[in-house]
Every structure is written in structure tokens, then in C-alpha cells.
Amino acid sequence: MERRQFLTGLGLGCLMACTPRTQSVTLPPGITLIVVRHGEKDGDALTPAGVARAEALASALADTDIDRIYSTSYRRNIATAEPLAEAQGLSIETVPDFDVTPKILAGNAGRTILWVGNKGNIAPMWDVLDLTGDAPLAYGDLAFVRADETGRISVAMTRFGS
């Protein structure tokens, strides 16, 4: 019996050692990362409620100077970002849906950036940034993640739209 337990433990240890771990990512100093989920959808298109929420996002961030807007290539995400991009004279930079966090943070120290994501990339973003609290996964959740010049991180959550 002891040999079986030993071999089982050894096998589990090997499996755990081979399991890839998510690498931690550090926020650049002075960055403000705004994170929002796309608006309400029907397939890959926004519903009328999603279109209204996209307009509400532009209103909610009207007084925020955003330097860059990032989105997945999904139509619903781009459509959510379009009213804000138009209002601020910015283009929407699409990023592949895999491992987005380091891609959107690179070169953005001191900037304010927006990520329009999905549940499938926002939750992992929260994990790799080691952020506390719930990720903004519901329609209308809006998170402001700030890293000051010393690396101290703060997260403020709010809601927008109805």
C-alpha cells in the first residue's frame, strides 16, 4: 500500500510540475488601465441595449483623456468601443484574444488605455495582474486600474449605462 501511495504522489507531483502556470505581469508606472466588457450581444453583433451601452460608455468616459483603445477583433467589442473612439479621435487597435495583457501594457507607461474585452480574457487579466476584488465581467461594469510611479496599484469599480 505504501508503494502505491508513493507512486501516486510521485505521479501527481510530475503532473503539477508540467502544468503551465500563468506568468505574473507588472503594470507599467503611471498607467491607467480602463477595463470594460463589450455591450449586450446577439451572436457577434450588439443588441439595441448593447448599442445604447456603447453610447453610454462614450458618455461615461467623455472627461477622461484616453491615449489608446484596444479591443479583440470581435465585432461586438469593436462596436462597443466605436462611439468613444470617434468622440476622442482615436483608432481602435485590435489585439488577438490570446494573452492580451502583456500586449496592451507594453509601451504604455504614463498613459491611459482602454481594453474592451470578453469574460474569457478579462478574468485571466485580473489573475496575471494579481488584482484584488471581482473582475468587471457584467455588462456595465467599468474598472479603473492605476499604477502610480512607485508601482502602488489601486482599483476603482463603477457602473455605466442602464
- Residue 12's pLDDT is what? 46
Q: Is residue 46 part of a domain?
A: yes
Question: Is 28 part of a structural domain of the chain?
Answer: yes
User: Using an 8 Å Cβ cutoff, are 100 and 117 in contact?
Assistant: yes
Rounded average pLDDT per 10-residue block, the chain, 162 residues: 54 45 79 98 97 98 98 97 99 89 94 97 95 96 96 96 89
The pLDDT value given to residue 133? 93
Helix (H) or strand (E) holding 18: helix 2-18
For residue 2, the model assigns a pLDDT of: 63
**Of the candidates 75, 72, 70, 73, which has an alpha carbon nearest to the alpha carbon of residue 43?**
75
Rounded CA-CA distance 142/123 in Å is: 14
CB 144 within 8 A of CB 156: yes
Buried b (16+ CB within 10 A) or exposed e, 140-151: bbbbbbbbeeee
CATH number of the structural domain spanning residue 109: 3.40.50.1240
| Range list of H helices, 19-156 | 48-60, 75-88, 100-105, 119-128
Q: What is the pLDDT of residue 137?
A: 98
Q: What is the pLDDT of residue 41?
A: 97
| Per-residue confidence (pLDDT) for residue 24, from 0 to 100 | 78
**How many structural domains comprise the chain?**
1
CB 153 within 8 A of CB 27: yes
Helix (H) or strand (E) holding 8: helix 2-18
| pLDDT value, residue 10 | 52
pTM of the predicted protein model: 0.85
For residue 13, what is the enclosing H or E element? helix 2-18
For residue 18, is it within any domain? Answer: no
Residue 82 lies in a domain: yes
Residue 13: inside a domain: no
Q: What is the pLDDT of residue 98?
A: 75
| The pLDDT of residue 91 | 98
Q: Which residues contact 162 (CB under 8 A, 6 or more apart)?
A: 52, 56, 140
Structural domain containing residue 62: 23-159
* Sign of the dihedral defined by the CA atoms of residues 2, 3, 4, 9, in that order: positive
